[in-house]
Amino acid sequence: MESTLRRTWAEIKLDSIAYNYKKIREKIGPDVKFLGVVKADAYGHGSIQVSKLLQDLGADYLAVSSADEALELRVNGIDMPILILGHTPKEQVGRLIEYHITQAITCKAKADEYSEEAVRCGGKLKVHIKVDTGMSRLGYLCDDGYFDTGVEGIVEACNMPGLDAEGIFTHFAEADEFGDENDAYTKHQFELFTSVISSVEEKLGRKFAIRHCANTGAVARFENTYLDMVRPGLLLYGYGEFARQMGLKPAMTMKTTVSTIKIYPEGTAISYGGVYVTDKTTRIGVLPYGYADGFLRSLSNKCSLYTKEGPAKLRGKICMDMCMIDITDMPSVDVGSEVEIFGEKNSIDELASIAGTIPYELTCAVSKRVPRVYYRDGQIIEKELMLRM
């Protein structure tokens, strides 16, 4: 559905994602596969559009969080390999087989369920085995005193009927953190992972086709961890310190407009709670952009948004549907003027830092009522509104 409202919108530059993909490809080399992480609607950028682009560019794999996300891609023309990183109920195994979708296996219980259901369906489910090397979230536990039992469990899963164990992977917990202790932890995780692989492959008598562990931080900092495939997330979309170091380009720009202008005398409390009080006659621009659109309330009264006359300070608490900026000294900023929330002129990295979070929490927070406008070669190629109308 296409929105007819010029309220608040996100501009997605597919050329930037293509540029980032090619730069990362150059870094990892021709012999390493590229998995594009497109879960959570491609971090708010639009999973269908981003996946089509990556497919056209020659990416090797995509990763999503759920069966629903994977099936959305399949029914919209994406036929390249897709890996589900999260949980899938066993009742969906038949659909995964039908649509050639790869499933992560994280423990014996999941392996048993998926094997039983695949056999019942009369097919083979392609799987990647998840190893918990220190993330302490999902995967076969193999650290400390669990190495032998973890290896045995993985070997058992690889030999189960109905399962085709194509790959094995783990996830780094601190690869994007700086410091000797963080680096040592990543090194420990990687060495444990490769030890598990060696032991499992020896017992199986065969090699895994795809071994992968390098997330964004590892792609940027630890070339020895690339193995057969890398999984850049934040890097692909051009955000964060590593993206800046590699000269990558941010893909999303969030924009809104000034909907109303009010003049308030000195001593006027602005918005809920009165956390900001004017210290002089103040010209306030009301923007149709609030926390229901994805503007984190933790940024209230702390950041600036960018107008054609430069940064304008946010005043008072962010509301559900609106926020207010100080345009007292910006006479040319009027009703209808564009305001950049984040993008080339107002860094999302800075906003994230002020909010005490990471950039892709801000992109993922962009709600479904915010239209996405897609650009290629400087031209609008598609507009998308996720609301049902």
Binding-site members for substrate are: 137, 320
DSSP string over 263-314? EE-TT-EESGGG-EE-SS-EEEEEES--TTTT--GGGTTT-EEEETTEEEEB
Taking the C-alpha atoms of residue 62 and residue 43, their distance in angstroms, rounded to an integer, is 13
Binding site feature residues: 137, 320
CB-based contact 375:12 (threshold 8 Å): yes
DSSP string over 210-228? EEEEE-HHHHHH-GGG-TT
DSSP string over 83-147? EE-S---GGGHHHHHHTT-EEEE-SHHHHHHHHHHHHHHTS-EEEEEEEESSS-SSSEE-SGGGH
Taking the C-alpha atoms of residue 154 and residue 39, their distance in angstroms, rounded to an integer, is 26
The torsion angles phi and psi of 308, rounded to 5 degrees, stand at: -65, -15
Taking the C-alpha atoms of residue 296 and residue 254, their distance in angstroms, rounded to an integer, is 13
CB count, 10 Å around CB of 7?
A: 18
Residues designated as active site: 39, 272
CA nearest to 364, candidates 72, 38, 41: 41
Residues 6+ apart with CB under 8 A from 216: 175, 176, 232, 233, 234, 235, 240, 242
The torsion angles phi and psi of 324, rounded to 5 degrees, stand at: -125, 140
Taking the C-alpha atoms of residue 291 and residue 158, their distance in angstroms, rounded to an integer, is 46
The torsion angles phi and psi of 143, rounded to 5 degrees, stand at: -80, 160
Residues 6+ apart with CB under 8 A from 191: none
CA nearest to 17, candidates 248, 231, 219: 248
